Amino acid sequence: MSSWPPVEEGFRLIFDGKNLDQWAMIGPGEFVQEPDLSLRSEGGMGLLWYTPEDFSDFVLCVDFKMEAPHSNSGVFVRFPEPRGDPWNPVNEGHEIQIMDTAEDPMAQTGAVYSFAPATHIATKPAGEWNTMQIQCMGPQYTVSVNGEAVCDYRSDRALKGYVGIQNHNEGDHVWFRNIRIRTLQ
């Protein structure tokens, strides 16, 4: 079993690799817990979301790795209770995209999917771990991948909501671990 990187000061783990008691799955597909305590997306289009609380201003950090550059997934932020439908977070929150090979920068890793493009691809090669940092402060969204700013966006959607990770479709495998959050004042 590999070890996770340390949690940054001020952050708290919301997925610790040990259990999913505070998470709920909606839609088809699933997330499979791996021996290294990461989660692997399988099938889709579904969403695994953190249920105990919604967040206003925060920094969310997620470690992820893709099976291949075309692997498709995402991190969802600030969506209302999904009411059993994985499309509600798509339509009412924001997805921060994971997929390196999209021709459209609005669908590349780090983009606020269909709202704001990624300026460049900052991921490591497929199979290596990356860190995505998503800061939501008021209407402003700032996304960094591996410490490089890749997207800045001002949203007119909700200023509070839940967070979750996406399993996109059959054949797209993305692993997640070390999901942590720091609330901002």
36-71 pLDDT tens trace = 999 999 988 899 999 999 999 999 999 999 999 999
For the chain, give the mean pLDDT: 94
CA distances from 125 to 67, 141, 157, 181 (A): 9, 25, 33, 25
pLDDT of residue 2 exceeding 60, the answer is: no
Q: Could you tell me what percent of the chain has a pLDDT over 90?
A: 86
pTM of the model: 0.95
The conformation of residue 89, written as its DSSP 8-state character, comes to: H
Give pLDDT, residue 18: 87
How sure is the predictor about 4, in pLDDT bands with cuts at 50, 70 and 90?
A: confident
- Indicate if the pLDDT at residue 137 is higher than 90: yes
Average pLDDT score over residue span 135-143:
98
Domain 12-183 has CATH 2.60.120.560: yes
